[in-house]
Chains A and B, each alone.
Chain A
Amino acid sequence: MAMVEIDGVRKRYEGGFEALRGVDLAIEEGEILALLGPNGAGKTTLISAICGITLPTEGTIRVGGNDVVADYRAARDLVGLVPQEVNLEPFEKVINTVRFSRGLFGKPKNEALIEDVLRKLSLWDKRDNAIRELSGGMKRRVLIAKALAHEPRVLFLDEPTAGVDVELRRDMWEVVADLKRQGVTIILTTHYIEEAEAIADRVGVINKGQILLVEEKAALMRRMGEKELRIELGTPLDAVPEALEGFGLEVSGGDLVYRYDSHAERTGIGRLMAAVAGAGLVVRDVATVQKSLEDIFVGLVARQEDAA
């Protein structure tokens, strides 16, 4: 059984705008799923529907087998949320807001755990500061601490590293890795492809309220893994020589560029290299480049927009 099961979820707002248009998604226990999508794709609406902040118009959502509407207590017990906006009570002390979150979720007092959470997020020294005295990055850490304070089994991070410095991003990745070791299921939405590439097990792409694809990150990159072979020549070229026509080559910056599927049975590289040698060209260097997740993502979104 999946930890989070989303079946045919639609969300229509009063004005008629449909933020989610039939989302089906299963998230396994202990995995890290990165949801990628442009602004307004429906990422936050989907998370809000799972966490109980917004009610889906159609469809069902279960967390740990509990329906988020009918069994909301059991479902929400398992879920922690780090929202995108820095929403915090400005006048309260850091440690008190974190204690509040634990109490609100019905968990008994545990000062040792709260200290541990605050230390991991480098907030322990600031525990008695009022929130408004903290920098933007520190406030974001407080949001994470609040979500972790009630020991969630499923953690949603809605754009957790949007606009934060490198140090916090690295700290946060460490916290995420630590949680994964404890078996916590993590769903993060992000704009940053490198973030998904760095920490996710699976990647989902969402756009215009629809999930376009969900796949193992490695498989996704392999499947969509078009590679580029760049041949630097002794004498830079202006155009593809006649002898090499038929290979679909391009000339870029004086180099020959060949695109191929790295998983195809015949990549055509051997034939190309033989032809290059046969044409009397001197090869100075050869480089291959794998497509990044970003290229894949941009390609998918563009394709959906063409189809629409």
Chain B
Amino acid sequence: MNMRAVGAIYRFEMARFFRTLFQSFISPVISTSLYFVVFGAAIGSRIDQVEGVSYGAFIVPGLIMLSVMTQALSNASFGIYFPKFVGTIYELLSAPVNFLEIVMGYVGAAATKAFFIGMVILGTSALFVDLQILHPVAVLAFMVLTCLSFSLFGFIIGIWAKNFEQLQLIPMLVVTPLVFLGGAFYSISMLPGAWQTVALFNPVVYLISGMRWAFFGIADVSVVISLAAILGFFLLCLGVIWWIFRTGWRIRS
């Protein structure tokens, strides 16, 4: 294992994050505050409670997951797309590293950034609502797993993308709708009957449900299924990346 290479990639990627630390920090704080103003205060004041939890607190797990997923995705996809775009990928391809080391460096950095943002949102949320966390270890586990698996997914998108438009395409067209329809702002049980079944085909439902269980002990689906879903997604992404490096798809001619 070339751990020095993993460290070098990780540090290089984190340096990009630290160069723009202020933007990285301020934008999730602002967007979270806006969600609380709109959903928590304006709408939430009329909803009162969902399954025994105040609406403002109810949306916190979903808000964290929403940001963690989109941040992990955009950081990881940009992280590997950018070397392709500016041509510095030649160095990765000619270095004595294997796919696992490259992935550990890039995905590790993207996941760290997403985790940091998740924590910022958790902190911001605590300013708006009273938060009590029932299973803190489970919160951490779900966050870490989501950061990692969505960073892996982002890594795949970054390799697949041939231009900046494609880089935005999957997050815009697929992930954002899935997240919004994944129960970030409502419980699946609030949907009409048929839509509840449709919702179960949305993988994000399992993640948000799991996270909500970790916070409040309430869930749309069993936490075991949630955990299995996120682990399955993690392994699927890892498998795809293994295949990408084996075949050199879109990276090695």
Residue of B whose beta carbon sits closest to that of A76: B96
Chain B 65-85: CB-based contact to A (< 8 A → 1; otherwise 0): 000000000000000001100
Chain A 75-119: CB-based contact to B (< 8 A → 1; otherwise 0): 111010101010111111000100111111111100000000000
B95:A104 contact, CB within 8 angstroms: yes
A146 at the interface (CB under 8 A from B): yes
User: Which of B11, B89, B252 touches A103 (beta carbons < 8 Å)?
Assistant: B11
B252:A104 contact, CB within 8 angstroms: no
Within 8 A of B (CB), among A100-156: 100-108, 146
**Which residues of A sit under 8 angstroms from B92, Cβ to Cβ?**
104
**How distant is B121 from chain A, measured CB to nearest CB, in Å?**
26
B4:A92 contact, CB within 8 angstroms: no
**How distant is A46 from chain B, measured CB to nearest CB, in Å?**
13
Residue of B whose beta carbon sits closest to that of A105: B95
**How distant is A149 from chain B, measured CB to nearest CB, in Å?**
11
Within 8 A of A (CB), among B11-32: 11-12, 15-16, 19
Interface size class of A (residues with CB under 8 A): 35 or more
A235 at the interface (CB under 8 A from B): no
B12:A83 contact, CB within 8 angstroms: no
A40 at the interface (CB under 8 A from B): no
B86:A81 contact, CB within 8 angstroms: no
A55 at the interface (CB under 8 A from B): yes
A1 at the interface (CB under 8 A from B): no
**How distant is B14 from chain A, measured CB to nearest CB, in Å?**
11
> Complex: how many Å from CA A131 to CA B6?
23
Residue of B whose beta carbon sits closest to that of A109: B4
A8 at the interface (CB under 8 A from B): no
B91:A103 contact, CB within 8 angstroms: no
User: Which of A73, A92, A103 touches B8 (beta carbons < 8 Å)?
Assistant: A103
Interface residues of A (CB under 8 A from B): 13, 48, 51-55, 72-77, 79, 81, 83, 85, 87-92, 96, 99-108, 146
Q: A85-B87, A90-B86, A100-B12 provided; 8 other pairs, C-beta below 8 A?
A: A51-B90, A55-B253, A77-B96, A83-B87, A89-B86, A103-B7, A104-B97, A105-B95
What are 25 A-B contacts with C-beta separation under 8 Å?
A13-B253, A48-B253, A51-B94, A52-B93, A52-B94, A53-B94, A54-B252, A54-B253, A72-B96, A74-B96, A81-B90, A81-B94, A88-B88, A96-B15, A100-B11, A101-B91, A102-B8, A103-B5, A103-B7, A103-B9, A103-B11, A104-B9, A105-B5, A106-B4, A106-B97
